[in-house]
Amino acid sequence: MNGEMVRIAELEIDPAQIDAYKALLAEEIEASIAKEPGVLMLHAVSECIRPEHIRILEVYADREAYEAHLRTPHFLKYKAGTAGMVRSLRLVDVDPVLMRGK
């Protein structure tokens, strides 16, 4: 990749709040993609047998774009709104081997 920052966020959400969490996450992802040119990709998935386990593949143009993302009103709203829902969060910086889409 050409200087991009790629990360996987591994979250465990309170199962009783999963629908509310997904709504806030969808709002945050939509705003990030629409408003931030440095946010190249945000893909969120949940495990089939444990839907409270969410994984987010995040791709930013560079570290500066990621740092700017953390300061946006929509991200701060997401963090505040989901604070009581997230049981655990692990951020894993990764090196892409090959990423393609169609």
Please check whether residue 95 is in contact with residue 59, taking contact to mean a CB–CB distance below 8 angstroms.
no
Q: Convert the pLDDT of each residue in 38-65 to its tens digit.
A: 999 999 999 999 999 999 999 999 999 9
Domains of the chain with CATH codes: 5-93 (3.30.70.100)
| Distance, C-alpha 4 to centroid of its chain | 15
pTM score, two decimals? 0.93
Q: Convert the pLDDT of each residue in 66-78 to its tens digit.
A: 999 999 999 999 9
DSSP 14-80: -GGGHHHHHHHHHHHHHHHHHH-TTEEEEEEEE-SS-TTEEEEEEEESSHHHHHHHHTSHHHHHHHH
Per-residue confidence (pLDDT) for residue 101, from 0 to 100: 85
Residue 20: pLDDT over 90: yes
Residue 96: pLDDT over 60: yes
Average pLDDT, the chain: 96
